[in-house]
Structure 1
Amino acid sequence: MFFFIPSASNRHFLLCPMCKKTQASLSVHLTRVCMKRSSKKDIHEVVKKAKQDSLEVLQCGRVFSYRHLREIMDDANPTSRMIQELERRHMVVTDTPSPAVVAQTSSVPVVAGTVTTGQRPESTESEQSEDIVSVSSGQLEETFQVTREVQWTQTSRHMMQEKGLYRKHSLDHPLLKGFATYLEKDLLNENFKQTVENVSRFMFFVNPEEPSLEFLREREKTKLFFRELTEAGLSRQTQVNYMKSLKRFLKYHTVATDLRRDNIALWNEAMFFVEYLGSLQQSTAKLVSKEMTQRR
């Protein structure tokens, strides 16, 4: 009986999330180089995550629909949109310019007074992850031709800007920064920034003054926020993804912080709000299949 021993050329190379290079033996590489001061358990979790990412690439990361590529190329910033899409599919783009350089080279005008950072809003994780459910998000039906600026005003992105739904609190605020660290360091979520931005936009809508957990008592404003998303033209799937970001944010505060010890009343409010989001998510998810049928 003969056994097949894979050579180095037949190994499944895995991506190291630290140095962003593929490795023939990721566990050995992490032990010797990038995570040599970490425990075996931590290294095992990183390798496990890399294998899952590699499997996702093999299953659904290699196929792009023509319509989806057109949507990316018709975006106001196609390069940034394409980079985000590739990274969502667990690929890596190196030597990307700084945001300042991108801002200087961008020739697309931005609607004034809608983004607190002064830069044009990026695609949210919610908008990107729609493609997991449907090959195309269906949000950018218009194609930008000669009159690009005129057609830009007809998109849901422009509606989001007009309604101020892209405005957000600073991600350096301790309430959001701790959440970002939790996603990046504890959960090894490479696309954590989009999740944090989703939460930041919602919190800004509820209270533009300062981010806080007081939104737990603002059910009416919560419903109004999702109605505004609908009026802006965002799909039900996008709204579900916003809800998922909020639930993950509250899970961080109810499980990974001392909120229960420091403020049991607020902790209870957070738990109730998670249930409330779950009910909203269920009712909204029923409309997702209808949207997909209409698109087909």
Structure 2
Amino acid sequence: MNPAVNRAVNPAKSKKVAANAVALVVALFFAFPTYWMVATALKPRKDMLTSEYDLLPLSVTGTNFATAWTKPGFLQSLGNSLVVTLLAVLAAVVVGLLAAVPLARMRFRGRKGFVMLMLVAQMAPFEALLIPVFLMMRDLDLLDKLPSLVLIYFAVTLPFCAWTLRGFVNGIPLELEEAAQVDGCSRWEAFRRVTLPLLGPGMVATSVFAFVTAWNEFLYALSLINDQSRQTLPVWLSGFQSQFGTDWGGAMAASALFTLPVLVFFLIVQRKMVIGVTAGAVKG
């Protein structure tokens, strides 16, 4: 090989190796807490309460997972979380799409101001709204009822969904819809047959982020729901801490089970999510 070409190739390979090494370190950094959670859940109690940090469990047991699975209220809380999260995310994605299309395709007075309001809504501290939201739900007679959480999670995730989907709609050329209309489609048919299928990856990516936000929410679920039969999984997880101490093995096992639905959903839509995230970065 020509020495000049060899010198040009080596720096490129070195940069690639360095980038892969950095990516591996970052991946391990973010994956380590999850590994530590699962490893702790598999440890017996005697190995858990020690000052030594063993990365690999000396012995493995499934007792902690059995404790978490059989703890009263697990399946019911799981069902409550799934119902509340799925309804809120579905409503936020649908309404967000209905808001994103006119914001991206139409030009009307106040459009930029409305977009700025969506950004302001996302920047508002979630915890600072607890008292007014609590009073509102009390006046609506929605305390201790799951629809209150559906409404709150819908309101929290809606600005993000509308803002993100607006970027995806902007990334689809308007000429595609116009060509479909020339071929005889109505405006709705052109959107349904041309634009909506192309928005699939973007809707998947948006729904994943909205799902994680609603699934992990704890403060409002704790403040608005006192009935244990209606509590969600994040509130149920706090039951492993009592005045007598914390059952760390059961808490870690329950946390692993709590993470499982999100992990499964992410693995199913991973490919489309990556496509959607990169497509949404083109235009905003």
Same fold, judged at TM 0.5 (above)? no
Query: Is the radius of gyration larger for structure 1 or structure 2?
Result: 2
Instruction: Flag the structure with higher helix content.
Output: 2
Q: So what's the TM-score if we normalise by structure 1?
A: 0.28
TM-score (norm 2): 0.29
